[in-house]
Amino acid sequence: MSKIEELRKVIDEIDDQILDLLNRRSNLVIEIGRIKKEQKAELHVPNREKEIVDRLSAKNKGPFPNESLIAVLREVFSASLSLEQPIKIAYLGPRSTFTHQACIQRFGYSPQYVPVNSIKEVFAEVERGLAEYGVVPVENSIEGAVSYTLDMFMESNLKIAAEIMLEISENLMNKTGRMDDVKKVYSHPQPIAQCRGWLESNLKGVPVQEVSSTARAAEMAAEDTSAAAIASRLAADVYGLRIIKERIEDNINNFTRFLVISRTSPARTGHDKTSILFSVKDKAGALYEMLQPFADSGISLTKIESRPSRKKAWEYHFFVDMEGHFEDENVKTAIEELRKHCLFLKVLGAYPAAGMEEK
């Protein structure tokens, strides 16, 4: 037996052990799920997942990289959750868009994903109990806030259960994988704008046509060998396309933040964010009064966004994200102090802050 065959035999034995351990773990998960149902406890516990990721990442001595370890653990968590109880996740569709990609990054491949046509429908699916979670975009590092998502929180009582930070990477793809075959390019208006410089340098004179989504662009490219699409790597996998060129966006520092919405907020993890929505009285010094409680409590604000109230001219609602959990004493104190100066205030949720493993 050659040395390679000997080593492969050892690998086979290790793979058998991994399979056995995964099934032993799954039996324990099923038992935990049974107990949770009896106690009517929350099935999905993100802080437990974070504890496992943090512990094993710190313990890992390599050479297996932590980034790959986290990806493996995410699929283990996903499959385990489906064993406890199959879950549905609504998202802004169609399939293979960046929102779909964000869902898979956070929840893995095991849940049942339900694409819907609008952000409003995502909220509706969760509010009606037709899906346990919803995933919606809330801001992009280049384009700014997704106003419609913020507006939905004014009307909805759903909570933010998690955030997802997804690096946006635009790819040129077609059936053949050859640039010479590209006679026209399809994509959504936003990716086209983000890739304008690359297109002018590399496909000058090739017509670029706007379509309803990157998924539709990929679908059209799959039907026409003379067409290419600008879309996600997931779209290439879904529609059987070959990537001609990766990362053709003009600005490589492009991230989109997504929110996971639910009927409840998760427990404190020790590395959390809290999001609130409020409206203040229109008077001199209102902005100072709004920020002062957070400064006094030593709380870092990570986002402030204003939106018109739509009820009264020049009256605004403010969305604020802050470091910490609303059960933390300093956060609780700051929010209650702010409430004194507000026309209304709503806590949208406290949830684990996205770390590097989410990116």
Determine the Cα–Cα distance for residues 320 and 334; give it in Å rounded to an integer: 12
* Residues 335 and 30 sit within 8 Å (Cβ to Cβ): no
- The letter for the amino acid at 134 is G
Residues carrying an active site annotation: 256, 258
**Concatenated DSSP letters of 300-313:** PEEEEEEEE-SSST
Instruction: Determine the Cα–Cα distance for residues 59 and 233; give it in Å rounded to an integer.
Output: 31
How far apart are alpha carbons 257 and 282 in whole angstroms?
30
d(CA 268, CA 282): 34
Burial readout 267-283 (b: 16 or more C-beta within 10 A, e: otherwise): ebbeebbbbbbbbbeee
Whether residue 286 contacts residue 280, with contact meaning beta carbons closer than 8 Å, is answered with yes
DSSP letters spanning 206-262: --EEE-S-HHHHHHHHHH-TTEEEEE-HHHHHHHT-EEEES---S-S--EEEEEEEE
Nearest Cα residue to 107 out of 120, 122, 88:
88
Please name which of 300, 308, 305 lies closest in space to residue 274, comparing C-alpha atoms. 300
Query: What's the start-to-end Cα distance of the chain, in Å?
Result: 44
Q: How far apart are the C-alpha atoms of 157 and 294, rounded to whole Å?
A: 24
CB 134 within 8 A of CB 99: no
